[in-house]
Chain A
Amino acid sequence: MIQTSNFAMKRRLTGAVVLALCATVAWAHAILVTSSPEANSIVAGPKIDITLRFNVRVDSTRSLVRLLSADGTTRTIPLLPERVSNVIAATATDVKPGKYKLAWQVLASDGHITRGEVPFSAK
């Protein structure tokens, strides 16, 4: 089996010295500015309103939010119609107490794809 060790270190050395191609670039603009639920917060279920605000305009029809539960199950939460250009919103229902992650993926208006996760707990 191939072992992958300190990638960053290798990349820096060869990139700097060979002055060549070993690049991995973050091709992204959409950064999560605020979220509801907030990261690592505890919110009351079973119905949870989700709001994700980004620094740039996002294409909400081509973005998605998934709810990942601690037991590994995943479900896609339908997004609400766009009201603000840099916000995506959804409502998760039947959320039982436990630990979750909101996994989001957005397509920014300039065509760049970004993903991220917001961990939270439901009570």
Chain B
Amino acid sequence: MQNLLDVFGFLSVLLRGLTLSFQSLLLGGIAFRALVWSRIRTESQFQLLPPMISLIRVAALGLTATQLASVSMSSAILMDTTSFRLRDIAGANFFIAGVVSTVCALLLIIFVTADRDFPTISSLLVLAILLCSVVTSHAWARVDHRLLSAGFTLIHYLAAGIWIGALPFLLIALRHSQTLLLSSAIARTFSSMAASSVAVVLLAGGALTFLYMDSPSALYGTSWGAMLGAKIWLVGGILCIGALNFSIVRNLGTDAGKGLRWLRWLVEAEIGIGFTAIVAAASLGSQPPAIDLPNGRVTAHDLVQRFTPRFPRLSTPALGELSKSDELLLKQEAENQGVASAYIPGTPALRPSTPGDIAWSEYNHHWAGIVVLCVGLLAFASQSGKAEWAKHWPLLFLALAVFLFIRADAENWPLGPNGFWESFRVADVLQHRFFTFLVLGFAILEWRVKNGRNAAWWAPYVFPAVCALGGAVLLTHSHSVTNVKEATLIDLSHIPIAVLAVFAGWARWLEVRAHPVSVRLFSWIWPLCFVAIGTTLMLYREA
């Protein structure tokens, strides 16, 4: 149980992100059938294609798994930390909503088949799933404007599902379409549906922001606001791609084949960034809304003080200057300030760092930033075609991996007293080691791709996929419950890195997709993102 408590916070957001993604996918499938497919196909070809049905079933199965995991985890923690038994917990909102959602998802697997069609039942089941999601959202716990919040949340989920969740079905439809005429008709019909959904998403999202945010300064003053900013950037990115798609669809003419090919590639990126925005929404939902945190916010003065550029720290403090234990917990810090604290079971506390800790961390960030900046610059040079040697830029990631392995967990081998194998018993060290090896792996793979040593079709996609996925997972990384100012400042520096990584990954994806056609826009965006990430890391400060 202790191990579960240790990862409770992270798993909760991850499961919520997956739940929202699967529910959007289910809704998207049902909506695509009702609003696009039924208008395009003739009566005899009305059924969804087998890959679409498979996708709906996979989403339903995924939702079942995530709901069961979520309910089980929360129940286990409640039973472990209190004297409640399962039957005491069974009446709780989250338990009922989770079970109902699971049953509905399982029923969808039964009702959505190739040879039978139950559109009304499917729609009602998806609606029930959405309602279950609403009663486990911010809205349902509000003291004021509960029904209004819940209504806007439902509309927001509904429109987001119809837009983002239906995109994979559009992709399947385009891939399986036998004529350019049919493909064009599908794209045009979808485009109208998506445009309406975008408007509703923005309106409902704006209304929720109005209810949950008391002033614009909350955007930088709270972690909730910082995450909202990330979501706005991501939605902005999707809208840019959506605008390109809209333009392509409106201009589909004699050269429809080329246009549709581009449309498919852009839709892939739109799906990727879209589901990242959904993960960001889950992360946003893990934070108390800004309106509930009027005190202790980051001020404009704090921002200027923290983010005024300084020369990077290039010399490391001695290992002996690091603090030895993690005993000063967040709640103790709050106690010292004479305020009540709040924390989550298993959430490691953010304790005050010693000057040695700060120097160590800043040194690590700044050198990592220098390496990432060099990656971006070399990638630029390589793209220009004037520096052949610059194509070896992936090798810089090898240096970064070694640097991380040695410095990220200073209490472990080779720097600290904990042995190599012993260190793997600590969950976070295990995660760090895993991702260090992941960096190592994709660096080697990308270097081989750049040098023509790996001809596998999938090899060029590994780097952008890892980059985009890493950025998405970093968005689930947040710190504060009671709005610790320091934690918010860290979020403000790390969230942009996550968003830039997502954009870099999908820009590179599009560049690979368009190969051998060179599209300057995409081939310059991702190195630019790396330069920005490197610069952000170099400017990072903790005091």
Q: Tell me if A90 counts as interface (CB < 8 A to partner B).
A: no
Q: Are A31 and B323 in contact (CB under 8 A)?
A: no
With contact pairs A8-B351, A9-B361, A28-B342 given, residues A113 and B74 touching in the complex (Cβ less than 8 Å): yes
Cα separation A22 to B479 with both chains bound (whole Å): 11
- Residues of chain B within 8 A of A86, CB atoms compared: 143
Q: How far is the CB of A54 from chain B (nearest CB, A)?
A: 9
Instruction: With CB as the reference atom, state the residue of chain B lying closest to A102.
Output: B340
User: Please, how many angstroms separate the alpha-carbon atoms of A24 and B361 in the complex?
Assistant: 18
Chain B CB within 10 A, most for which of A2, A5, A18, A117 = A18
Contact (Cβ within 8 A) A62 B88: yes
Q: Determine which of B13, B288, B350 lies in contact with A31 in the assembled complex, contact meaning CB atoms within 8 Å.
A: B288
* Given the contacts A5-B325, A12-B494, A62-B88, A110 and B364 also touching, CB distance less than 8 Å: no
Q: Flag whether A85 is at the interface (Cβ < 8 A).
A: yes
- Residue of B89, B467, B497 near A16 (CB, 8 A) is B497
Q: Are A113 and B418 in contact (CB under 8 A)?
A: no
* Size bin of chain B's contact surface: 35 or more
Contacting B at CB under 8 A, from A15-59, are 15-32, 35, 39-40, 55-59
Per the bound structure, the CA–CA distance linking A76 and B81 in Å amounts to 12
Determine whether the beta carbon of B482 is less than 8 Å from that of A31: yes
A80 interfacial by beta-carbon distance below 8 Å: no
Q: How far is the CB of B442 from chain A (nearest CB, A)?
A: 11
Q: Does A89 contact B (CB under 8 A)?
A: no
Q: Nearest chain-A residue to B417 (Cβ)?
A: A3
Q: How far is the CA of A25 from the CA of B186 in the complex (A)?
A: 41
Q: How far is the CB of B361 from chain A (nearest CB, A)?
A: 4
- Interface size for A (C-beta < 8 A) is 59
Residues of A within 8 Å of B10, CB to CB, are 21, 23-25
In the complex, whether B42 has a CB less than 8 A from a CB of chain A is no
Q: Which of B54-89 contact A (CB under 8 A)?
A: 74, 77-78, 81-84, 88-89
Tell me which residues across on chain B come within 8 A of A23, comparing CB atoms: 9-10, 13, 473-474, 476-478
CB-based contact B422/A56 at 8 Å: no
A27 touches B13 (CB 8 A): yes
Mask: chain B, 459-502; 1 = CB below 8 Å from A; 0 = not: 00000000100110110111111100000001001100110010
Given contacts A13-B365, A20-B473, whether A115 and B94 have CB atoms under 8 Å apart is: no
Decide: A28 and B84 in contact? CB cutoff 8 A.
no
Query: What is the 8 Å Cβ interface bit string for chain B, positions 203-218, against chain A (1 contact, 0 not)?
Result: 0000000000000000
Cα distance, A100 to B537, chains bound together (Å): 44
In Å, the complex CA distance between A113 and B75 comes to: 10
Return chain B residues, CB-CB under 8 Å to A9: 353, 357, 360-361, 364
B479 lies within 8 A of A111 (CB): no
Q: Are A19 and B474 in contact (CB under 8 A)?
A: yes
Interface string of A99-123 (1 = CB under 8 A from B): 0000001011111111111110000
B83 and chain A: residue at smallest CB distance: A76
Q: Which A residues are CB-close (under 8 A) to B189?
A: none
A74 located at the interface, meaning its Cβ lies under 8 Å from any Cβ of chain B in the complex: no
Q: Which residue of B lies closest to A117 (CB)?
A: B331
Q: Which residues of B contact A20 (CB under 8 A)?
A: 431, 435, 438, 470, 473-474
With the chains together, A39 CA to B82 CA distance in Å?
Answer: 23
Residue of B with least CB distance to A18? B435
When the two chains form the complex, which single residue of A18, A31, A85, A116 contacts B293, counting CB atoms closer than 8 Å? A31
Contact between A57 and B143, CB atoms less than 8 A apart: yes
Contact call A13/B368, Cβ cutoff below 8 A: yes
CB pair B418 A3 closer than 8 Å = yes
Across the two chains, which residue of chain A brings its CB closest to B338? A40
Does A56 lie within 8 Å of B428, measured CB to CB? no
Minimum CB–CB distance for A121 against chain B, Å: 13
> CB-CB contacts of B129-159 with A at 8 A, as 1s and 0s?
0000001111111110010000000000000
The answer on a CB contact under 8 Å between A21 and B287 is: no
* Residues of B contacting A35 in the complex (Cβ-Cβ under 8 angstroms): 340
Residues of the B chain whose Cβ atoms lie less than 8 Å from the Cβ of A110: 93-94, 135-141
Using A6-B353, A11-B477, A14-B436 as known contacts, list a sample of 14 further A-B pairs with CB atoms less than 8 Å apart, ordered by residue number in A: A6-B360, A8-B351, A21-B474, A23-B476, A23-B478, A25-B286, A27-B13, A31-B293, A55-B288, A57-B141, A58-B141, A62-B92, A113-B81, A116-B340
| 12 pairs, A vs B, C-beta closer than 8 Å | A2-B422, A5-B325, A5-B416, A13-B408, A22-B431, A24-B477, A27-B16, A29-B288, A31-B288, A57-B140, A111-B94, A113-B81
Lowest 8 A-B CB distances belong to which pairs?
Answer: A111-B94, A19-B470, A23-B477, A27-B12, A56-B141, A26-B481, A116-B342, A20-B435
